């Protein structure tokens, strides 16, 4: 999916919602556990319920690979079931020396043909370049995350007062342009998000932290939205586990609809 196609789809859907498929088998409704593939059955129902209201899906790979071979099969079936109109993100946070990164890129761009993958940039350009070599795919670099530990490394300052994540942004924008590269920017630090946007005004941001983590959608939009929208806001637990009963899909749809309506208002 090209940048122009993504923007057009966002405008068509009147939404910049990404649904995170962080499917925890210990939290899905009990009645699904008798299914041959409970994780896929859950994901299928969530996708059916939310596809009208979102533009992207983001499976967190840890929830699948933790289940071994069956988890990877659940991931494959989930990816195949997601409508081709929707942007797909492998939330894998990979990054290693070049030949290893090349194998990770092959995994998530060929074996499991996602549109994009999240990548950790802290081993430098040669660890990121193998992902960027796939010209029809997107690389989403971690920049400023929403977890408390982000202060341990990402916000460390050098002697000039420049923070690590700012160095990452400055370097990465010399590696690839906004047609191929996005950045992860957490929603729970709105002032930092606004500052980050000023550094990369033309790049899409993947923004987690709205919903269960407490980020405010309106504040995020004011801080980071651009004329091309420029943001994908992820919600996972607040949608997936809106209900733990047999009505889980209907509850997920209601939560996604509420977010879509709020996003549509912000896009006017």
What's the fold here for domain 3-266? Answer: TIM Barrel (3.20.20)
Q: Could you tell me which residue, 22 or 209, shows the higher pLDDT? A: 22
Task: Report whether pLDDT(228) > 80.
Answer: yes
pLDDT tens-place string over residues 7-60: 999 999 999 999 999 999 999 999 999 999 999 999 999 999 999 999 999 999
Q: What is the pLDDT of residue 151?
A: 73
Active site residues: 93
pLDDT classification of 159: cutoffs 50, 70, 90: confident
Average model confidence (pLDDT) across the chain: 94
Boundaries of every domain in the chain: 3-266
Q: Which two tokens stand for residue 119?
A: 């990548």
Q: CB neighbours (10 Å) of residue 3?
A: 18
Q: What is the pLDDT of residue 212?
A: 56
d(C-alpha 139, C-alpha 178), whole Å:
10
218-213-162 Cα angle (round to 5): 80
Alpha-carbon distance of 194 to 184, in angstroms, equals: 13
Query: Please, how many CA atoms are within 13 Å of residue 211, restricted to the half-sphere of its CB?
Result: 24
Global confidence as pTM: 0.96
pLDDT > 90: percent of the chain: 85
């Amino acid at each position: 999916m090209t940048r122009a196609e993504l923007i057009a789809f966002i405008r068509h859907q009147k939404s910049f919602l990404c649904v995170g498929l962080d499917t925890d088998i210990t939290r899905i409704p009990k009645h699904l556990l008798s299914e041959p593939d409970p994780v896929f059955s859950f994901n299928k129902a969530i996708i059916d319920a939310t596809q009208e209201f979102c533009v992207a899906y983001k499976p967190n790979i840890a929830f699948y690979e933790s289940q071994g071979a069956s988890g990877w099969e659940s991931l494959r079936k989930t990816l195949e079931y997601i409508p081709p109109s929707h942007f797909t993100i492998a939330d894998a946070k990979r990054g290693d020396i070049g030949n290893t990164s090349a194998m990770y890129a092959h995994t998530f761009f060929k074996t499991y043909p996602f549109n994009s993958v999240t990548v950790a940039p802290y081993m430098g350009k040669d660890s990121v370049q193998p992902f960027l070599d796939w010209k029809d795919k997107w690389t989403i670099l971690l920049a400023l995350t929403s977890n408390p530990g982000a202060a341990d490394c990402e916000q460390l300052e050098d002697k000039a007062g420049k923070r690590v994540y700012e160095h990452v942004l400055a370097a990465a924008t010399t590696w690839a342009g906004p047609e191929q590269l996005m950045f992860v920017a957490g929603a729970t630090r709105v002032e930092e998000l606004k500052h980050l946007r000023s550094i990369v005004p033309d790049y899409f941001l993947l923004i987690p932290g709205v919903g269960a983590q407490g980020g405010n959608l309106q504040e995020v939009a004011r801080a980071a939205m651009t004329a091309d929208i420029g943001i994908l806001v992820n919600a996972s637990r607040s949608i997936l586990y809106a209900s733990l009963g047999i009505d889980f899909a209907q509850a997920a749809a209601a939560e996604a609809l509420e977010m879509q309506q709020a996003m549509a208002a912000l896009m006017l």
